[in-house]
Structure 1
Amino acid sequence: MRVTDDQTHFEMTKISDSEAAPQRKISNFVFWNQTRVFILILSLTCLTLTQINSQIFTFTVICMDDLIVENRMNNATEPHWIEGSTEKSILFSATAVGALVGLIPSVPLLNRLGVRRTLSVCGLFSTLGTFFTPIAVAWSFYLVVLCRFLQGLGISVILTVLGVIPTSWSPKSEYSTYLAILSCAWQFSNVIFMPVSGILCDSSFGWRSIYYSFGVLTGLLYFVFYMFYTDMPGIHKNVSEKELGQIKEGKPEHTVREAVPYRKICTDRCVIAAWVSFLGGNLGFITLLLYGPTYLREVLQFDVRSTGYINALPYALCAVYKFSAGKISDRVNFSDKAIYTFWLFSSIIGLGIGYLIMAFTSDRNVAFFAFAFAIVTSGLIIMATVKCLAMRCQQHCHFAVSAISFLSYCVQFISPLCVGVLAPDNTPEQWSRLFIIITIIMIVTNAPFPWLTTQQAADYTKRKDSTGFSAEKY
């Protein structure tokens, strides 16, 4: 039987994994029946590198003083663009613009090409944008904007595939753990590139070596991803029958091709509540993600190398926190709604406490502790939102999650503009005002979440039979 692209895709297939399995040749090496773990590690590595590339400028901007010196030595009449707050805000926002542009066709592309091809193309954009940034800096500000735009295209589907890969590859009993680990891409990106960037910036290699190193590494790892990843476990040659049975246990045997019910999803009050909640929580997280190095360097007065190390520490603790939360959630007997509601509110409360302490303290050590506490506790926001949407939207989760990707990139676009307006001089007073405003927004947007969300699958997720009537999924 010939298998078409539609048939092999994780969303649009008309055959089950068990039906696809006989058509594949199972390798003699099946990773000790743990191929899904290797898939998890490989996917996490690629997502982490893509996220690193989008963030490199947020750190190197504090150690690019050589551009100013060179500009003055050349007797230039105008200041270098790196000295302008407007230009830097544009570069911060250019990545978000690229992500928004890439997100628009992401759902159709994922439906047609699958995760493997779509994510690999995004990895190529990220590789090119990162590797050529130092060259672009020497030529033109607008070329740097283009490189940042390409890095934005690279991260455009990260949040969307974050909801798809665990659904396809993790057993039902391991979903929370799989999701928790995969979502650590944001934390691991800081754990890895912040200390490395601090060391390289302070060395004879300089900040340019950061872009070259991560650009090459990203290209190599995405090549491995393209060669090894498949959209369904049932067509992967290294997945044994035993492991395939574990992955499929408790999941529907058959999926059918269905049009995404866009209007019903967009008018579902549970989905809307999750989207609004994520918007507020993500504002708190993204501000720390983008401007953590600037806050530590300009406001708290840490040096460049110290900034690299101490900014990485809370993200490392956050990754441990998320992994522990995922493992515990897979074992406790509480309802799924209770679990993801606890995840969300523990994160929002932690962020709020951290922001308020930073707003009202003048002690550098206390401010750093609050900064670290806010980052550590923020880690469960994405897990809570994705799990809520996955349970509510089921097979249409990829669209619902792509919407929070859109909100996230809107925040990444708006946040630099707001910081540029509210804290243009990086004074403690300006940052205090910014922290208070963000805290209020987080509280208002998250208050309705427990009242409007539900763990029950929506009616539009029920499989339709050949006559068009809904039937319960089995």
Structure 2
Amino acid sequence: MRINIWRNKLVVKSFAGKVRLWVLALTTPLLILVFANPMAFNFTIICMIPPEHAESDDNMTLGQSSNSTANRKNFFSHDEKIIYDGRVYYDYSPLQRNALFSSAALGLLLGTLPLSYCVGRYNVRYTFSAYAFISAVTTLLIPLSADLGYLYLFCLRILQGIGSSAELMMISSVPNEWSPIASAGTFMIILSTYYQVGPALLMPTAAGLCESQWGWSMVYYVQGSLTFIVVVLFFIFFRDSPREHP
């Protein structure tokens, strides 16, 4: 009996040694994408608002209403679209812009509240996959929500922040279950690079796509699609521990 238990432990350790790098290779890019998704707005807002000289240009037309002053009176106005030089812009007030920046942080705070309950009732795999899936879907819907109106975009930004609130959980869970004690620090360092790598990859991508023929919305389509693909692969392959892996 003791021999069988000892052999089973060796099999688990050997299997973990072969698969743990794949777990790290899947978790790290997913953390990068989920972290970068709400940050994309920080860069695309530059391309979403009209240029300073647009309001004095004869080629500028309002998307739905000719009374721009009335539009700014309603915080959740649907009439802020401006068409200039063949592109659609959104004339958000400074208060609206600040609220959009803060909404993702609000979602981040709200998303941490049920995190412990979800992990205890389900597990790390299902919980993080669900959060990452929310991040992917909301990122894909950002361009549509901006077109529908400010209220839709504001609510979706909150959901986008909720989707990125489970990342710190993975930084502790993956090294604890999948890494030997000697390399646990290395695992944590690699997983923590999402904080630096995410913006470093996002900034040139957003700049290039914003100035391209596809416009700023393509940033969200690329980010959301990549996140969706990686989260599906993560859900299929990842398990909470080597003992649970098929």
Please indicate the TM-score interval, normalised by the length of the shorter structure.
0.7 to 0.9
2:219 paired with 1:214: no
1:277-292 mapped onto 2 (5 Å cutoff): none
2:75 matched residue in structure 1: none
Give a deviation string over 1:98-150, Cα, whole Å, max 9, x none.
Answer: 11111111012112211100001001110111001101111110110111111
2:158 paired with 1:149: yes
1:64-213 mapped onto 2 (5 Å cutoff): 64-66=48-50, 72-74=60-62, 75-77=66-68, 78=71, 80=80, 82-213=91-222
Counterpart Cα distance in 2 of 1:44 and 1:113: 22
1:54 matched residue in structure 2: 38
Counterpart Cα distance in 2 of 1:205 and 1:170: 42
Counterpart Cα distance in 2 of 1:98 and 1:210: 21
Counterpart Cα distance in 2 of 1:137 and 1:183: 32
Let me know the Cα RMSD of the aligned residues. Answer: 2.5
Identical aligned residues as a percent: 30
Cα pair distance change 1:124/1:97, threshold 3 Å: same
**Offset of 1:161 from its aligned partner?**
2.2
1:212-251 mapped onto 2 (5 Å cutoff): 212-237=221-246
2:86 matched residue in structure 1: none
Partner of 2:122: helix, strand, or coil? helix
2:33 paired with 1:39: no
Counterpart Cα distance in 2 of 1:160 and 1:202: 36
Larger RCO, structure (CA 8 Å, separation 6 or more): 2
Cα pair distance change 1:143/1:176, threshold 3 Å: same
1:354 matched residue in structure 2: none
Unmatched tracts of structure 2, length 5 or more: 73-79, 81-89
- 8 Å CA contact 1:46, 1:218 repeated in 2: yes
- The count of corresponding residues between Structure 1 and Structure 2 is 213
Counterpart Cα distance in 1 of 2:173 and 2:244: 17
Cα pair distance change 1:136/1:100, threshold 3 Å: same
Counterpart Cα distance in 1 of 2:187 and 2:18: 13
Give the AA of the match of 1:98. Answer: G
Partner of 2:123: helix, strand, or coil? helix
Cα pair distance change 1:136/1:34, threshold 3 Å: same
Counterpart Cα distance in 2 of 1:67 and 1:119: 39
Counterpart Cα distance in 1 of 2:237 and 2:227: 15
Give the AA of the match of 1:52. Answer: A
Counterpart Cα distance in 2 of 1:101 and 1:129: 16
- 8 Å CA contact 1:133, 1:144 repeated in 2: yes
Counterpart Cα distance in 1 of 2:67 and 2:156: 24
Q: 2:47 is matched with which residue: 55, 63, 66?
A: 63
Counterpart Cα distance in 1 of 2:222 and 2:67: 31
